[in-house]
Amino acid sequence: MLNEEKKILMLLKAIIFHYHGLVEEEEKILYRSAAELDAEKELKWAFDFIARDYITAFERAREYLNQAIKKLGKSKRVQFLNLTWLANREKGYITEMEAAAILKIAKDWEVDRELVSMVQPR
């Protein structure tokens, strides 16, 4: 995975976990994910991005991500959103706020239908 892709994925995961306040279990998931991808530097960048202004972090992240994903194909966008969904499920649940935030980004990226079909129970 390219460094820019790692940056996108780490920011996406971090902003969703921070959406309602990051808890210790979520932080562990983020660090484990970063280690698996050799993306510790990108995760630190994402944390710094969020910390710059926590209140506006989600909207700023959406703006950044909407520009950054232009380089990614549709399948990669769906993959990143699905990986974020799965990371949230690792803690045993996904809050309504997290689900809504992921779906909002999926709609921005024009892959909301694809994501819903992947995560919807059958």
Instruction: Render pLDDT for 29-48 as a digit per residue (tens, 0 to 9).
Output: 999 999 999 999 999 999 99
pTM to 2 decimal places:
0.94
C-alpha 91: how far from chain center: 15
Predicted pLDDT of residue 10: 98
The total number of structural domains that make up the chain: 1
Report angle CA 48, 76, 44 to the nearest 5 degrees.
15
Determine the structural domain holding residue 45 and report its residue range. 3-119
* Cβ–Cβ < 8 Å for 30, 11: no
**Phi, psi values for residue 107, rounded to 5°:** -65, -45
* pLDDT above 90 as % of the chain: 84
72 dihedral zone (left: phi>0; alpha: psi -120 to 50; beta): beta
